[in-house]
Amino acid sequence: MGARILRGVPDPPESWADLQERIADTRFGELRHLEEVDSTNRYLLDEARQGAAEGVVAVADHQTAGRGRLGRTWEAPPRASLLVSVLLRPDLEPARSHLATMAAGVAMVEAVWLTAGFTPSLKWPNDLVVGDRKLAGMLSEAELRDGRLDALVVGIGVNVNWDEFPPELAGTAVACNQVAGHPVDRAALLGAFLERLDDRYATLLRPGGDEAVLGEYRQRCSTIGREVRVELADDESLEGTATGVDDAGRLDVETRDGVTPVAVGDVVHLRPTDG
Ligand code: BTN
């Protein structure tokens, strides 16, 4: 990718050792730290099919075939990003699996605050952004059995310590170190994320948990209230005001013709100068 990574990034070995202790009492105590893998999502989906238990976590220093949303790839130089997937087996209808992804998004926002000292927002559906620059992306992949959700792998890639981005990302991406003004420890970020996710996921599984998670997500979602262009399939797009996120996780976009709930698409936050 032509990007250089920071020299002297902390990530000292002891912070990975501390991490094991930190997460031992959460449901995410089984952490697999891989030096290199094609994709942590692919790895965990295969583990899930072979019966791995809820809570297994895969984190990689480098991915050779990282997966992004909508069939895209996700690339990062070794150790510049936190590349992590968690295996969940929630008792949720498949159509409600977005709630677990939302809980993870909120947990990562909190983890960035606790570790790097700034608070990103959520851009619908599941990006973390600072202003309009992308800090992190999420991809959840489900394994169904007899129409039921058997496993859900939630994968997140966070730009943590990037010296500079390649030209194609330079105007649209941002990394934790650039906002914080100093390198950020990936192991500490992961520890905070898994602790917060343990809590958020427990909330989701309790009665009334859906509403709690949706409420947190909506509060932190900077797409709501914005003028947006949503790029849909087949080169179609929709421009209007994002008025909310419904219980099914769809973005409500209001145009002159009324409100359209959008289930899948890429959102561009329009500035006043764009329109
Ligand atoms: C996006 O397109 O914004 C989603 C990117 C998700 C990337 C993460 S990195 C860890 C996990 N493993 C993958 O192969 N993808 C996700």
The dihedral of CA 201, 207, 213, 216: what is its sign? negative
pLDDT value at position 11? 65
- How many whole angstroms from 130 Cα to the centroid of ligand 1? 18
pLDDT value at position 141? 98
Atom of ligand 1 nearest to the CA of 39: 14
Atom of ligand 1 nearest to the CA of 157: 9
Nearest protein Cα to ligand 1, atom 11: 155
41, 47, 128, 140: which to mutate for ligand 1, most atoms within 8 A of CB?
41
Nearest protein Cα to ligand 1, atom 15: 67
Beta bridge partners of 133: 130
pTM for the model stands at 0.94
d(CA 245, CA 97): 15
Beta bridge partners of 153: 87, 141
d(CA 58, CA 221): 27
Give helix 98-116 / helix 209-220 axis angle, nearest 10°: 50
- How many whole angstroms from 275 Cα to the centroid of ligand 1? 31
Rg (CA), the chain: 18
| Per-10-residue mean pLDDT, the chain, length 275 | 46 78 96 96 98 98 96 94 98 95 98 98 98 97 96 98 93 96 95 98 96 98 97 93 97 97 95 49
Who contacts 159 (Cβ-Cβ below 8 Å, separation ≥6)? 76, 80, 81, 134, 135, 136, 173, 174, 175, 176
Beta bridge partners of 37: 63
pLDDT value at position 172? 95
Q: Answer whether 115 contacts ligand 1 (Cβ < 6 A).
A: no
